[in-house]
Amino acid sequence: MDKKLNKKSLTDKKAKEASPVKDLTKNKSRRDFITLTTCAMAGIGTASGLWPLVKSMNPSAEVLAMSTVEVNLSDIQEGQGKKVKWQGKPVFIRRRTKQEIEAARAVDVKILRDPQPDEQRVCKGKDEWLIMVGICTHLGCVPIDHATKDGNGWFCPCHGSYYDTSGRVIGGPAPKNMAIPDYFFPSENVVIIGKKA
């Protein structure tokens, strides 16, 4: 009978030793599931918290609507100009005369503070149209028309910067030429400012 008891106690010991291993593997798979679920919930929570932040950085519909402006040029005579508003900034559109174009191209670019040939400031084939942001590059004032011997230039009354018939700085404290925005001509008498073709 002792032998039977010994066999039974041995099998009980083996069963007890085997069951903790099964419990450990069962606990390990449960622990993995809990860890995976927690990480997934943390990821979802982070994404749902970041989404409004990222969305708020996108431009609003009002800003997108102001990103381009279409201007009819048919009412601008040679030697005349027009001012339009684009993205809250004034834009000068000038239909230059042949004399103004020749004067702008005759300037020695090397002597300019911000050297840039006239050909780079206008659209190829539309040399008579000068389109630029009408803001002085010194402190952001709006220059006014200023007649010169070569035609029409611009003068900033705040600090005395002068710009030639191509909008290039020729005097005063302004460090750079007036900026040229992106634009293209979809038809003969229409220009779209704020986008390239």
Q: What is the pLDDT along the chain (197 residues), one digit of tens a residue?
A: 455 555 555 555 555 555 555 555 667 788 888 889 999 999 999 999 998 888 888 877 777 666 788 888 899 898 888 999 988 899 999 999 898 888 888 888 888 888 899 898 888 888 899 999 988 888 888 888 887 766 678 888 888 888 888 888 888 898 999 999 999 999 888 998 888 87
Q: What is the pLDDT of residue 141?
A: 84
List phi, psi (to 5°) of 73. Answer: -100, 0
State the Cα angle at 131 between 108 and 121, rounded to 5°: 30
pTM given for the model? 0.66
Pair 98, 145 in one domain = yes
Query: Catalytic amino acids?
Result: 159
Residues spanned by the domain of 154: 63-193
The CA distance from 54 to 160, in Å, is: 44
Pair 51, 138 in one domain = no
CA dihedral 31, 34, 37, 42 (to 10 degrees): -100
Cα 1 from chain centroid (whole Å): 92
Pair 101, 164 in one domain = yes
Tokens 């995976």 correspond to 36
Pair 138, 71 in one domain = yes
